[in-house]
Amino acid sequence: MISILSLLCSSSFIFISSALFGAMKQYCFEKHLRIHVYRGLNLVIKDKFKRSSDPYVLVTWGKQKVRTSYLKRNLNPEWNEELTLCVEDPNLPLKLEVYDHDTFSPDDKMGFAEFDVKPLLDALEFISQEEQGGLLNDTIVKKVIPSRTNCLAEESCIVFKNNRVVQDMCLRLRDVKNGELELQLELIHDKLKTHRVENSLNPEWNEELTLCIEDPCMPVKLEVYDYDTLTFDDNMGEAEIDIRPLIEVVKMEPENFADGTIIKKIIPSRENYLVEESCVVFKDKKVVQDMCLRLKNIESGEIEIQLQWIDLPGSKGV
């Protein structure tokens, strides 16, 4: 994950790309699906003695499986967890199963729901063929209505929001008397940009952008542009990120380190774009790297970002 924190430059947006990615037309094999599991509503009771349940959500897509944590004694749990899957076969439905966690016996089923992700993929293909700059924020690209063939509890809208394609939905669980799940889907691009900040020499985005990394030896490129309405956008400098130090730490199984441990330091040199020393840290069970990059091919300008590595189920790893 690349978190854009602030750019010490001019009124602009940032475009992020990498030479390791293919064309947009191959999006079915290059995209990733982020599932933000918000909450469950009015779930069924499985523990009769406690008059409650300890629910978690298991998401299955083809051979890939990811799950949330379980919450104790809660029929209206709020997970607010993000799960990420590779887009391999968009024709397969995405399946969500809710289970009651048990310590000494098999987990009890609390219902399931399935849905089709193709409308979301179709919306992305449509947007990729359009001028994104011409789409207003919160533009509804497509609506999906409840039917017998889906588990929707209400109409679901696919929206272009903050340069992202997202779909909020409420799913009614099957094979149980009651229960619903609220979640949001987001397709992760391999070429991304932030929104633009008008009339600012020190804009702050605080946005998260996620890229699929296939070849860790290839640098990630950041380009800064000044947005123009009637003419071509002006280039305002660029920088490259070497992610190899971050990946080296990931391979070290950093879970064995204490929280807040600085595992690796990278000093500025002629071979990188660093303004100051950058540290790879194990923090909150994550490997992160804060850095400040000096923009090249421009008189002045710096950009502050944070990197975080995410392993996806079904991937080859590092």
C-beta atoms surrounding 165 within 10 Å: 24
Summarised one tens digit per residue, pLDDT across range 162-180 is: 778 899 999 999 999 999 9
Domain boundary assignment for the chain: 2-21+190-308, 27-188
Q: What is the pLDDT of residue 28?
A: 30
Q: What is the pLDDT of residue 248?
A: 93
Summarised one tens digit per residue, pLDDT across range 261-282 is: 999 999 999 889 999 999 999 9
Q: What is the pLDDT of residue 245?
A: 93
CA atoms in the 13 A half-sphere facing the CB of 300: 5
Residue that the structure tokens 């990498």 belong to? 18
The pTM for the full model equals 0.60
Please identify every stretch of the chain with a pLDDT value under 70, giving residue numbers as ranges: 1-30, 128-134, 189-191, 212, 214, 312-318
The architecture (CATH level 2) of 27-188 comes to Sandwich (2.60)
* List of residues 6+ apart from 120 with CB closer than 8 A: 33, 158, 165, 167, 185, 187
Tokens of 4: 């854009």
Asked whether the beta carbons of 226 and 233 are under 8 A apart, the reply is yes
Asked whether the beta carbons of 286 and 308 are under 8 A apart, the reply is yes
Burial call 39-72: b when 16+ CB within 10 Å, e when fewer = bbbebbebeeeeebbbbbbbbbbeebebbbebbe
Report the CATH fold assignment for 2-21+190-308: Immunoglobulin-like (2.60.40)
Give, rounded to a whole angstrom, the gap between the first and last alpha carbons of the chain: 15
Q: What is the pLDDT of residue 287?
A: 92
Domains 2-21+190-308 and 27-188 are alike in CATH topology: yes
Q: What is the pLDDT of residue 21?
A: 26
Q: What is the pLDDT of residue 87?
A: 85
Q: What is the pLDDT of residue 58?
A: 97
Q: What is the pLDDT of residue 27?
A: 28
Burial call 221-250: b when 16+ CB within 10 Å, e when fewer = ebbbbeeeeeeebeebbbbbbbbebbbebb
Angstrom distance (rounded) from CA 164 to CA 271: 33
User: Which residue in 95, 116, 98 sits closest to 108, CA to CA?
Assistant: 98
- H-assigned helices in 172-291: 244-250
Strands 78-86 and 234-241: unpaired
